[in-house]
Protein backbone atom coordinates (compact mmCIF):
# COMPACT_ATOMS: atom_id res chain seq x y z
CA UNK A 1 0.00 0.00 0.00
CA UNK A 2 1.33 3.45 -0.86
CA UNK A 3 1.93 5.87 1.99
CA UNK A 4 -1.27 7.74 2.77
CA UNK A 5 -1.30 11.37 1.78
CA UNK A 6 -1.59 13.63 4.81
CA UNK A 7 -4.10 16.27 3.86
CA UNK A 8 -4.73 19.55 5.53
CA UNK A 9 -8.03 19.11 7.27
CA UNK A 10 -10.02 21.59 5.22
CA UNK A 11 -9.25 19.51 2.14
CA UNK A 12 -11.08 16.58 3.74
CA UNK A 13 -14.36 18.48 3.95
CA UNK A 14 -15.31 18.19 0.27
CA UNK A 15 -14.61 14.46 0.53
CA UNK A 16 -17.15 14.12 3.34
CA UNK A 17 -19.65 16.14 1.30
CA UNK A 18 -19.13 13.77 -1.66
CA UNK A 19 -19.45 10.73 0.61
CA UNK A 20 -22.80 12.12 1.80
CA UNK A 21 -23.86 12.06 -1.85
CA UNK A 22 -22.83 8.38 -2.10
CA UNK A 23 -19.46 8.84 -3.84
CA UNK A 24 -17.44 5.64 -3.29
CA UNK A 25 -14.23 7.12 -4.74
CA UNK A 26 -14.37 9.87 -2.15
CA UNK A 27 -14.86 7.21 0.53
CA UNK A 28 -11.72 5.39 -0.67
CA UNK A 29 -9.73 8.61 -0.52
CA UNK A 30 -10.93 9.41 2.99
CA UNK A 31 -10.23 5.82 4.02
CA UNK A 32 -6.62 6.09 2.80
CA UNK A 33 -6.16 9.41 4.57
CA UNK A 34 -7.74 8.53 7.91
CA UNK A 35 -8.10 4.78 8.48
CA UNK A 36 -4.35 4.42 9.28
CA UNK A 37 -4.65 7.25 11.82
CA UNK A 38 -7.72 5.71 13.42
CA UNK A 39 -5.99 2.35 13.55
CA UNK A 40 -2.91 3.97 15.10
CA UNK A 41 -5.15 5.55 17.73
CA UNK A 42 -6.79 2.22 18.59
CA UNK A 43 -3.50 0.33 18.76
CA UNK A 44 -2.08 3.00 21.03
CA UNK A 45 -5.04 2.46 23.33
CA UNK A 46 -4.06 -1.16 23.68
CA UNK A 47 -6.38 -2.83 21.17
CA UNK A 48 -4.96 -5.95 19.55
CA UNK A 49 -4.62 -5.94 15.75
CA UNK A 50 -7.91 -7.78 15.23
CA UNK A 51 -9.94 -5.44 17.44
CA UNK A 52 -8.22 -2.40 15.94
CA UNK A 53 -9.17 -3.54 12.42
CA UNK A 54 -12.73 -4.21 13.47
CA UNK A 55 -13.27 -0.86 15.18
CA UNK A 56 -11.49 0.95 12.31
CA UNK A 57 -13.92 -0.71 9.91
CA UNK A 58 -16.92 0.22 12.06
CA UNK A 59 -15.64 3.79 12.26
CA UNK A 60 -15.28 4.05 8.48
CA UNK A 61 -18.73 2.54 7.92
CA UNK A 62 -20.22 5.02 10.40
CA UNK A 63 -18.57 7.83 8.43
CA UNK A 64 -20.23 6.51 5.27
CA UNK A 65 -23.65 6.36 6.92
CA UNK A 66 -23.47 9.63 8.83
CA UNK A 67 -21.59 11.81 6.33
CA UNK A 68 -24.72 13.88 5.71
CA UNK A 69 -24.87 14.89 9.38
CA UNK A 70 -21.28 16.25 9.39
CA UNK A 71 -21.30 20.00 10.08
CA UNK A 72 -18.01 21.78 9.26
CA UNK A 73 -19.05 24.71 11.46
CA UNK A 74 -19.04 22.45 14.54
CA UNK A 75 -15.94 20.28 14.15
CA UNK A 76 -13.05 19.67 11.78
CA UNK A 77 -13.12 16.36 9.91
CA UNK A 78 -10.33 14.89 12.10
CA UNK A 79 -12.31 15.83 15.20
CA UNK A 80 -15.53 14.37 13.87
CA UNK A 81 -13.71 11.15 13.01
CA UNK A 82 -11.96 11.14 16.40
CA UNK A 83 -15.33 11.29 18.20
CA UNK A 84 -16.74 8.49 16.03
CA UNK A 85 -13.72 6.23 16.66
CA UNK A 86 -13.80 7.03 20.38
CA UNK A 87 -17.51 6.18 20.62
CA UNK A 88 -17.27 3.01 18.52
CA UNK A 89 -14.47 1.86 20.79
CA UNK A 90 -16.53 2.54 23.92
CA UNK A 91 -19.54 0.76 22.37
CA UNK A 92 -17.38 -2.26 21.74
CA UNK A 93 -15.85 -2.30 25.22
CA UNK A 94 -19.08 -1.74 27.12
CA UNK A 95 -21.79 -2.82 24.75
CA UNK A 96 -23.58 0.32 25.84
CA UNK A 97 -24.02 3.66 24.20
CA UNK A 98 -21.74 6.47 25.29
CA UNK A 99 -23.81 9.02 27.23
CA UNK A 100 -24.03 12.23 25.20
CA UNK A 101 -26.27 15.28 25.26
CA UNK A 102 -28.81 15.70 22.48
CA UNK A 103 -28.81 19.12 20.76
CA UNK A 104 -32.55 18.69 20.04
CA UNK A 105 -33.47 18.00 23.66
CA UNK A 106 -36.12 20.52 24.83
CA UNK A 107 -34.54 20.26 28.31
CA UNK A 108 -31.22 21.55 26.90
CA UNK A 109 -30.04 24.90 28.21
CA UNK A 110 -29.53 26.78 24.92
CA UNK A 111 -26.24 28.43 23.93
CA UNK A 112 -26.05 32.15 24.55
CA UNK A 113 -26.46 33.96 21.22
CA UNK A 114 -23.02 34.53 19.78
CA UNK A 115 -21.85 37.52 17.78
CA UNK A 116 -20.83 36.76 14.19
CA UNK A 117 -17.21 37.68 14.98
CA UNK A 118 -16.98 34.91 17.58
CA UNK A 119 -18.07 32.22 15.17
CA UNK A 120 -14.98 30.48 13.95
CA UNK A 121 -14.60 27.90 11.25
CA UNK A 122 -13.89 24.58 12.98
CA UNK A 123 -11.46 23.31 10.35
CA UNK A 124 -9.40 26.43 10.89
CA UNK A 125 -9.52 25.92 14.67
CA UNK A 126 -8.27 22.39 14.07
CA UNK A 127 -5.29 23.66 12.05
CA UNK A 128 -4.42 26.30 14.63
CA UNK A 129 -4.67 23.79 17.44
CA UNK A 130 -2.43 21.36 15.62
CA UNK A 131 0.23 24.04 15.25
CA UNK A 132 -0.16 25.09 18.89
CA UNK A 133 0.05 21.47 20.10
CA UNK A 134 3.40 21.07 18.34
CA UNK A 135 4.73 24.03 20.28
CA UNK A 136 3.76 22.74 23.71
CA UNK A 137 6.58 21.83 26.09
CA UNK A 138 7.38 18.10 25.74
CA UNK A 139 6.20 17.22 29.23
CA UNK A 140 2.80 18.86 28.73
CA UNK A 141 2.41 17.24 25.33
CA UNK A 142 3.25 13.84 26.78
CA UNK A 143 0.63 14.15 29.52
CA UNK A 144 -2.00 15.43 27.10
CA UNK A 145 -1.26 12.51 24.80
CA UNK A 146 -1.48 10.08 27.69
CA UNK A 147 -4.87 11.55 28.58
CA UNK A 148 -6.21 11.18 25.04
CA UNK A 149 -4.46 8.14 23.71
CA UNK A 150 -4.23 5.79 26.61
CA UNK A 151 -7.30 4.39 28.25
CA UNK A 152 -6.40 6.18 31.40
CA UNK A 153 -8.08 8.73 33.53
CA UNK A 154 -6.05 11.47 35.21
CA UNK A 155 -5.80 9.32 38.32
CA UNK A 156 -4.38 6.34 36.41
CA UNK A 157 -1.89 8.61 34.65
CA UNK A 158 -0.72 9.89 38.02
CA UNK A 159 -0.18 6.31 39.16
CA UNK A 160 1.74 5.41 36.02
CA UNK A 161 3.98 8.47 35.76
CA UNK A 162 4.58 8.47 39.52
CA UNK A 163 3.64 12.13 39.48
CA UNK A 164 1.26 13.33 42.19
CA UNK A 165 -2.30 13.62 40.90
CA UNK A 166 -2.27 17.36 41.56
CA UNK A 167 0.82 17.76 39.36
CA UNK A 168 -0.72 15.81 36.48
CA UNK A 169 -3.86 17.93 36.73
CA UNK A 170 -2.03 21.23 36.89
CA UNK A 171 0.30 20.38 33.97
CA UNK A 172 -2.58 19.31 31.77
CA UNK A 173 -4.48 22.44 32.78
CA UNK A 174 -1.43 24.54 31.88
CA UNK A 175 -1.29 22.90 28.46
CA UNK A 176 -4.98 23.65 27.88
CA UNK A 177 -4.61 27.27 29.00
CA UNK A 178 -1.75 27.65 26.53
CA UNK A 179 -3.80 26.18 23.68
CA UNK A 180 -6.78 28.36 24.53
CA UNK A 181 -4.61 31.48 24.64
CA UNK A 182 -3.12 30.65 21.26
CA UNK A 183 -6.58 30.28 19.75
CA UNK A 184 -7.67 33.60 21.24
CA UNK A 185 -4.58 35.38 19.90
CA UNK A 186 -5.07 33.96 16.45
CA UNK A 187 -8.76 34.73 16.20
CA UNK A 188 -8.54 38.25 17.51
The residue from 4, 10, 13, 178 that contacts another protein (CB under 8 A) is: 4
The residue from 21, 104, 117, 184 that contacts another protein (CB under 8 A) is: 104
Site for another protein contains 86 (CB under 8 A): yes
Q: Which is nearer to another protein, 81 or 162 (CB)?
A: 81
> 3-state secondary structure string, the chain?
CCCCCCCCHHHHHHHHHHHHCCCHHHHHHHHHHHHHHHHHHHHHCCCCHHHHHHHHHHHHHHHHHHHHHCCCCCCCHHHHHHHHHHHHHHHHHHCCCCCCCCCCCCCCCCCCCCCCCCCCCHHHHHHHHHHHHHCCCHHHHHHHHHHHHCCCCHHHHHHHHCCCHHHHHHHHHHHHHHHHHHHHHHHC
Q: Minimum Å distance from CB 44 to another protein?
A: 7
Q: Minimum Å distance from CB 125 to another protein?
A: 6
Cβ neighbours of 61 (radius 10 Å) = 13
Site for another protein contains 40 (CB under 8 A): yes
- φ, ψ of residue 76 to 5 degrees: the values are -70, 165
The residue from 60, 70, 72, 140 that contacts another protein (CB under 8 A) is: 60
Site for another protein contains 171 (CB under 8 A): no
Site for another protein contains 69 (CB under 8 A): no
Looking at residues 19 to 38 of the shown chain, list those that interact with another protein (rule: CB under 8 A): 24, 27-28, 31-32, 35-38
Site for another protein contains 163 (CB under 8 A): no
The residue from 10, 172, 178, 182 that contacts another protein (CB under 8 A) is: 172
Site for another protein contains 71 (CB under 8 A): no
Q: Minimum Å distance from CB 75 to another protein?
A: 7
The residue from 21, 73, 107, 116 that contacts another protein (CB under 8 A) is: 107
Site for another protein contains 85 (CB under 8 A): yes
Q: Minimum Å distance from CB 81 to another protein?
A: 7
Cα separations in angstroms, 143 against 37, 125, 146, 159, 173: 20, 22, 5, 12, 10
Amino acid sequence: MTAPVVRPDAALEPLVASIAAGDRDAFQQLFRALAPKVRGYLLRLGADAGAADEVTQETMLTIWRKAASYDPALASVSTWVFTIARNRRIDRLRRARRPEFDPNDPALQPDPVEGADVAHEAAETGQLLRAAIQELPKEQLRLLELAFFHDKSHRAIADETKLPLGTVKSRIRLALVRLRDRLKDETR
